[in-house]
Every structure is written in C-alpha cells, then in structure tokens.
Amino acid sequence: MLTRDEIEHLIYDTVDIVPQGEDSVFLGVFSLVDNPATLDLLLVKMTTYYDRLLEILPLSVSERIKLQMQRCFSYEEYKALFTSVQEKDLNRAICKTLLITTKTELQLFINNPSRDDSYKAFVALLERWSKVHNPLMHSLLYGIHD
C-alpha cells in the first residue's frame, strides 16, 4: 500500500514545481484536479502500481477490496465505461474499484443523468468517491489535510 508520503512523492514527481527564489513569484496553490494531464498521469501511475499488487499478492477478499479502493481510477478508464455495456466489461479494473458487479449496475452507473464521459463529470465522481472510499487520496487531491 502507498503511504501518504509515497503518494505525495508521486505527486511531486508528476508535477513540475519551480523552486522559489529571486527569479520567481508565488502565484498561488496548484490543484491537480485543475490540470487533467497531470492528474491523469498521477492516477495512471497509481493504478498501475495497485494493479501490480493485486496481481502478485496473495490476498483475502477483504484485503483485495481494500486495495481496489486505494487504487482509484484514471480518466481514460472512466471514459471507457461509456463505450460498451457487456458482461466482459465487468472485468475492467475500474468496475472492481467502483464495486460495479453486474451489467445492470453498469447500465445504471452510465445512465445516471449526472454522469457522462466529460472531464468535469469524472472529477465530480472522483471527489465524491474518494471522500467515501479513499480519504487519503481525497485529502491530497482536494487539499483537506488531517
């Protein structure tokens, strides 16, 4: 599992941060959710890391679910949900992360009026989902620190 420090390190590796000095001016705080490319790069790194853990570790059902919740999901994975609704789509990692287990649940998910394949809808879902299922990631993405 990634710790808070390890996730912050991934964030710092993903974002180009110019050091403050004589030639720089502090303009404010950068939010990952305001930069789609940077946020998705971070989420791809995280999902790849967790997918590898899920693949190689012998886990109990509860341990597997816990890792799937920490995994999060990328924008590309989210957009792909809207391309097809078939039984085989339930094997996608994002379905497991979002606890979508049946074709009917997937249809209900994508037919929700507040959801479409836009980045804005993705960020809205990520915020609500992480607040409940991955508070650590929520605090890092939305600046709410414990």
Helix residue spans in the chain (DSSP H): 4-14, 36-56, 61-71, 75-80, 93-97, 103-111, 119-133, 135-142
pLDDT tens per residue across span 47-69: 999 999 999 999 999 999 888 88
pLDDT at 17 over 70: no
User: Where exactly are the structural domains of the chain?
Assistant: 4-16+29-142
Beta carbons of 62 and 90 less than 8 angstroms apart = no
pLDDT tens per residue across span 115-132: 888 999 999 999 999 999
Dihedral in degrees, nearest 10, Cα atoms 138, 142, 143, 145: -20
Residue 118: what pLDDT?
92
Beta carbons of 47 and 73 less than 8 angstroms apart = yes
pLDDT tens per residue across span 66-91: 888 889 999 999 999 888 778 888 88
pLDDT mean over 1-8:
70
pTM to 2 decimal places: 0.77
Distance CA 31, CA 96 (A): 27
